[in-house]
A and B are shown apart, each in its own frame.
Chain A
Amino acid sequence: MLHVSDLTKRFGGIIAVNGVSLEIRKGEIVGLIGPNGSGKTTLINLIAGFYKADSGRIIFEGVDITKKTADERVKLGIARTFQIPRVIGNMTAWQNVTYAVIGSRRFKEKKMTLTEASMEALYYLDIVGLLRKRDVLCRDLPIYELRLVELARALALNPKFIMVDEVMAGLNPVEADNVARLVQRLREEFKLTTMWVEHVLRIIMRSVERVVVMNEGKIIADGEPREVAKDVGVIKAYMGEEVVI
Chain B
Amino acid sequence: MVIKIEERRGRIIIHLLNKSRFEWTIEPRYWRNPLIVVILWILLPLIMAYYVPLGIVGIGSTTLLSSLILANVIALSAIAHSLQTIGTGRVNFGPQFFLVVGGYVAALLNKNYGLGSELTFLASFAITALVGLALSPLTVISRGLYFTLITLVLPLILGELIFWRGDIFGAETGIPGITRLAHTGDPMNDLLICFYLSLAMVLILTVIVDKILRSRWGFMLGVINEDEDVASSFGIDTKKIKVVTFTFTSGIMGLSGWFIAHYYGAFAGTMWLEPWVLIFILLSSVLGGKAAIYGAPLGAYFIVLSRDILRSYIGGGYSLLLLYIVLLIALYLLPEGLWGLYRKTRYREYVPVIRIRRKL
> Contacting A105 at CB < 8 Å: which of B219, B229, B235?
B235
Within 8 A of B (CB), among A99-119: 99-100, 102-105, 107, 114, 117
- Residue A200 lies at the interface, judged by CB distance under 8 Å to chain B: no
Main secondary structure of the interface of B (DSSP, over half): helix
Which residues from chain B contact A70 at a C-beta distance below 8 Å? 229, 232-233
Are A95 and B232 closer than 8 Å at their CB atoms?
no
- Residue B318 lies at the interface, judged by CB distance under 8 Å to chain A: no
Count chain A CB atoms within 10 A of each CB in B216, B229, B350, B353 and give the residue with the most.
B216
Are A102 and B350 closer than 8 Å at their CB atoms?
no
Which residues from chain B contact A80 at a C-beta distance below 8 Å? 233
Q: How far is the CA of A71 from the CA of B242 in the complex (A)?
A: 14
Q: How far is the CA of A180 from the CA of B255 in the complex (A)?
A: 56
With an 8 Å Cβ cutoff, the count of chain B residues facing the other chain is 23
Q: How far is the CA of A99 from the CA of B230 in the complex (A)?
A: 10
Are A90 and B350 closer than 8 Å at their CB atoms?
yes
Whether A71 contacts B219 in the complex (CB less than 8 A), given A86-B227, A90-B353, A91-B350, comes out as: no
Q: How far is the CA of A87 from the CA of B238 in the complex (A)?
A: 17
Q: How far is the CA of A212 from the CA of B244 in the complex (A)?
A: 43
Are A69 and B353 closer than 8 Å at their CB atoms?
no
Are B227 and A71 closer than 8 Å at their CB atoms?
no
Are B235 and A74 closer than 8 Å at their CB atoms?
yes
A-B contact count (CB 8 A): 73
B112 nearest CB across to chain A (Å): 44
Which residues from chain B contact A74 at a C-beta distance below 8 Å? 233-235
Are A88 and B226 closer than 8 Å at their CB atoms?
yes
Are B348 and A135 closer than 8 Å at their CB atoms?
yes
> Contacting A102 at CB < 8 Å: which of B220, B239, B348?
B220
A44 nearest CB across to chain B (Å): 11
Q: How far is the CA of A48 from the CA of B233 in the complex (A)?
A: 7
Are B350 and A98 closer than 8 Å at their CB atoms?
no
Are A102 and B236 closer than 8 Å at their CB atoms?
yes
- Residue A164 lies at the interface, judged by CB distance under 8 Å to chain B: no
Chain A residue at minimal CB-CB distance from B348: A135
Q: How far is the CA of A114 from the CA of B352 in the complex (A)?
A: 17
Which residues from chain B contact A49 at a C-beta distance below 8 Å? 232
Are B237 and A71 closer than 8 Å at their CB atoms?
yes
Which residues from chain B contact A102 at a C-beta distance below 8 Å? 216, 219-220, 235-236
Whether A98 contacts B238 in the complex (CB less than 8 A), given A70-B233, A135-B348, comes out as: no
B139 nearest CB across to chain A (Å): 15
Q: How far is the CA of A74 from the CA of B231 in the complex (A)?
A: 11
Are A71 and B235 closer than 8 Å at their CB atoms?
yes
Are B236 and A71 closer than 8 Å at their CB atoms?
yes
B225 nearest CB across to chain A (Å): 9
Count chain A CB atoms within 10 A of each CB in B220, B232, B236, B350 and give the residue with the most.
B232
- Residue B142 lies at the interface, judged by CB distance under 8 Å to chain A: no
With an 8 Å Cβ cutoff, the count of chain A residues facing the other chain is 30
Whether A86 contacts B230 in the complex (CB less than 8 A), given A71-B237, A114-B219, A157-B235, comes out as: yes
A11 nearest CB across to chain B (Å): 16
- Residue B251 lies at the interface, judged by CB distance under 8 Å to chain A: no
Which residues from chain B contact A38 at a C-beta distance below 8 Å? none
Q: How far is the CA of A103 from the CA of B240 in the complex (A)?
A: 13
Chain A residue at minimal CB-CB distance from B235: A103
Which residues from chain B contact A50 at a C-beta distance below 8 Å? 229, 233
Q: How far is the CA of A74 from the CA of B237 in the complex (A)?
A: 10
Chain A residue at minimal CB-CB distance from B232: A70
Q: How far is the CA of A89 from the CA of B235 in the complex (A)?
A: 19
Chain B residue at minimal CB-CB distance from A86: B230
Are A92 and B350 closer than 8 Å at their CB atoms?
yes
Count chain B CB atoms within 10 A of each CB in A49, A100, A153 and give the residue with the most.
A100
- Residue A75 lies at the interface, judged by CB distance under 8 Å to chain B: yes
Whether A103 contacts B234 in the complex (CB less than 8 A), given A90-B350, A117-B216, comes out as: yes
Which A residues are within 8 Å of any B CB, using their own CB?
Answer: 48-50, 69-71, 74-75, 80, 86-92, 95, 98-100, 102-105, 107, 114, 117, 135, 153, 157
- A-B CB proximity, top 7 nearest: A103-B235, A74-B235, A70-B232, A103-B234, A88-B226, A100-B234, A71-B232
- Given A70-B233, A74-B233, list of 17 further CB < 8 A pairs? A71-B238, A80-B233, A86-B230, A87-B230, A88-B223, A88-B226, A88-B227, A90-B226, A90-B350, A91-B226, A102-B216, A103-B234, A103-B236, A104-B235, A114-B216, A117-B216, A135-B348
14 contacts between A and B (CB under 8 A): A49-B232, A74-B234, A74-B235, A95-B219, A95-B350, A99-B220, A99-B223, A99-B231, A100-B234, A114-B219, A117-B216, A135-B348, A153-B234, A157-B234
